[in-house]
Structure 1
């Protein structure tokens, strides 16, 4: 098996479970996009931006895969939706979604996955506090880019942008960051135990 891989940085949780190779990287990137597409269908309808589980998926994918693969996974997700696959919330797709009121959040997914992945490669995700800070940072990126996109798409003023694109999501964003922060450090411990048994 080839040792060529897309990950040049420090190992992440995925690297602890799977051997590094280009094939593995491609599968992991595609899997991250698929997980996000499934999470997009778990949503609460809300105008102009629905509440979805996508952000939780983005945080987990970024942390698990690392900066490069996490960002590529979210970029793949965006491209799949752009070309017509029904991967966005409510099985939607197309340029109207990507460049509409929710598009900024989707672009934010790419940066957020890269950021949480970069922090994971520096071991922020191995302890609850570091993981929580990492995932809160990723959530802030998603909200920030999402609100910019929302404001541009709807020509909304600052107050409207905050009411439509931030306030309804703050509690959910904190809860999702907390869930991710509880899951990833525990997953590291499990992976370490499995690895020790293999040795």
Structure 2
């Protein structure tokens, strides 16, 4: 007679895996990521001389991407983009509509997609579980957003490269580092709370 040997529980790859997997739960997580990004978009501080405000969106992107992983994180940001583009007041200062996407700030929102996927992929490889790994990950994730957003700003606002950097990147460096530090502290802390990290 053979005895069944129980398989060891699979170690969660990203924070959301602690909750288990089901299509309903995944859908709820994706919707929550979109709504969380929309909520943090309403934290908006105008930047003098720039059409781009300082917002909480990038913090939402890095947190949800790391927590959900590449596919659910990307889906959450894609849902956010689509819901705002069809006119829901999801973008900064309760704006919405395709004109936002096609305008000066649209590139940053589009940049959420590759950033979410790549941050989620890195988190799947456990780069979000210690501050010293998470901090550079979240700085790099925001850099991806700027890599899409700044050239988009230059084209749509008819700015030179230098002007676009001055208006769409330089004023956001300190805030981006603060957001990376907040996320870099939060994710490892949440992993410790689950006692599964």
- Answer whether TM exceeds 0.5 for this pair: yes
Partner of 1:5: none
Partner of 1:100: 103
Partner of 2:45: 44
Deviation at 1:37, TM superposition (A): 0.2
**Which stretches in structure 1 are left out of the alignment for 5+ residues?**
1-9
Residue 187 of structure 1: which of 160, 168, 190 is its match? Answer: 190
Whole-angstrom CA distance in 1 between matches of 2:157 and 2:75: 28
Deviation at 1:96, TM superposition (A): 1.0
1:22-79 C-alpha deviation (Å, 9 max, x unpaired): 1111000000000000000011023310000110010000000000000110000000
Deviation beyond 3 Å, 4+ runs, structure 1: none
Whole-angstrom CA distance in 1 between matches of 2:140 and 2:181: 12
Partner of 1:20: 21
Whole-angstrom CA distance in 1 between matches of 2:195 and 2:28: 22
Deviation at 1:155, TM superposition (A): 1.6
**Which stretches in structure 2 are left out of the alignment for 5+ residues?**
1-11
Which protein is bigger by CA-based radius of gyration?
Answer: 2
Residue 113 of structure 1: which of 99, 104, 116 is its match? Answer: 116
**How many residues in Structure 1 have an aligned counterpart in Structure 2?**
184
Whole-angstrom CA distance in 2 between matches of 1:39 and 1:128: 22
Contact 2:151–2:161 (8 Å) recurs in 1:
no
Asked if 1:176 corresponds to 2:173, the answer is no
1:122-157 C-alpha deviation (Å, 9 max, x unpaired): 000011111111101101001111101101111210
Deviation at 1:11, TM superposition (A): 2.1
| TM-score between both structures, scaled by the size of structure 2 | 0.91
Asked if 1:67 corresponds to 2:47, the answer is no
Map 1:151-162 onto structure 2 (within 5 A).
Answer: 151-162=154-165
More helix by share: 1
1:97-138 C-alpha deviation (Å, 9 max, x unpaired): 111100000011111111110000000001111111110110
